[in-house]
Amino acid sequence: MSGKVLVGVLAAAVLVGGYLYWVDQGKQSYAAVGDCVSSPSQGKLLQVDCSSTGALKVLAKFGSDDSNQCDTVAATTRAFVEYPVGQAAFVLCTGQAK
């Protein structure tokens, strides 16, 4: 393989890897009211099926980093403040998914 081809293949691999990393980072920010999320031991909030063990339903979403806003949302059991890469911070107010 020539050097130029090898550089092209490596560049393509880096681009694909970067894209996949970017998509993975965005997963946590796409949760909307009515979706369910889970917070595994690593602390990364993930969107999950509402029937999953430990799933929490998003009851409200606020566009700031003030988790005290969840105090006004009935049935909130846990608040998550998210700081997605390249996006504004937001708060998810969650409760039991039944």
- Structural domains in the chain (count): 1
Q: Which of 52, 53, 71 is nearest to 62 (CA)?
A: 71
Residue-wise pLDDT for 7-45, tens only, equals: 555 666 655 444 444 445 444 456 899 999 998 766 778
Mean pLDDT of the residues in the chain: 80
Please give the average per-residue pLDDT across 57-78, as a whole number: 96
Which residues span the domain enclosing 55?
A: 3-96
Instruction: Give me the pLDDT at residue 6, please.
Output: 64
Instruction: Give me the pLDDT at residue 18, please.
Output: 47
Percent of the chain with pLDDT over 90: 49
Higher pLDDT: 96 or 41? It is 96
